[in-house]
Amino acid sequence: MPKHVDPEARRRLVVDALFRVVVRDGLQRTSLRAVAAEAELNIGSLRHYFASQHDLMHFAMQSMLDRVGGRLLDHIERIGDLSRYPRTEQLRLTADLLAELLPLDDSRRAEVTVFLDFNTATRTNPAFHELSHQAAEGSRRLVHRVLTRLDATGTLRPDLDLAIETERLTALLDGLGLSAVLHPELLAPHTCVDALITHLGGLSLPSEAPSTEAPSGAR
């Protein structure tokens, strides 16, 4: 009787192995053979997911987006109605949510590394442009949604232009992610979170200041 293979479990195995190889070798130098060896599978088993370097890179990026997107949705659901929290807690919870996009642990570091490597490849390979654009657009939608929720509770200053603040906060997240991957010895996880909380505090009404306590797992 043939051995039953759980497709979802196999996919997680492949994705985890792929991310480990990307972190170690870089996405553009990641080969099908290296991923198969890392996952302890034969190459034929991986053909179900990708048959070429192009497919492998696309699969890595899409898997990263799926992981992060699912985790963000779960996080938003756990927070629930933001207005039921005190203002300082709203800011801390918002920082905690946005920290899902930062390389604060091994899992998120792998995701951000895949993201950076993929976007580097996109600059010279138009075949990847659509997925890269999707990721950039998704980040901005998330940040705008987060700021809109804070604004609806009366936490933010009334003079803010949310479109401009979306770009500023997105740029901060991008910069922190890049620096923390390239120079982890200079930018510790708790420093990333402190910078994020301080930025959000600067957008809030003067009478309230956010706690600088880092989200769980950041220290």
CATH number at residue 151: 1.10.357.10
Residues 210 and 92: beta-carbon distance below 8 Å: yes
Would the pLDDT of 2 be above 70?
no
pLDDT at 28 over 50: yes
Q: Is residue 105 part of a domain?
A: yes
Higher pLDDT, 1 or 80: 80
Report pLDDT for 219. 42
Collapsed DSSP state (helix, strand, coil) of residue 156 = strand
pLDDT at 149: 94
Contact predicate 213/108, CB 8 Å: no
SS3 45: helix
In a domain? residue 2: no
- For residue 73, the number of C-alpha atoms closer than 13 Å in the C-beta half-sphere is 7
The parent domain of residue 114 ranges over 53-203
Least confident of 94-108, 137-151, 197-211: 197-211
Instruction: Classify residue 105 by its DSSP letter.
Output: S
Q: How far is CA 25 from CA 104, 137, 196, in A?
A: 20, 28, 30
- Say how many domains are in the chain: 1
Nearest to 65 by CA among 120, 8, 118: 118
What pLDDT score was predicted for residue 3? 54
Please compute the mean of the pLDDT values over residues 111-120 and round it to a whole number.
89
Average pLDDT over residues 164-174: 97
* pLDDT band of 93, cuts 50, 70, 90: very high
Phi, psi values for residue 156, rounded to 5°: -85, 155
User: Within 13 Å, how many C-alpha atoms sit on residue 80's CB side?
Assistant: 3
Q: Is 182 inside a domain boundary?
A: yes
Q: How many CB atoms lie within 10 A of CB 171?
A: 11
Residue 91 pLDDT level (bands cut at 50, 70, 90):
very high
pTM: 0.82
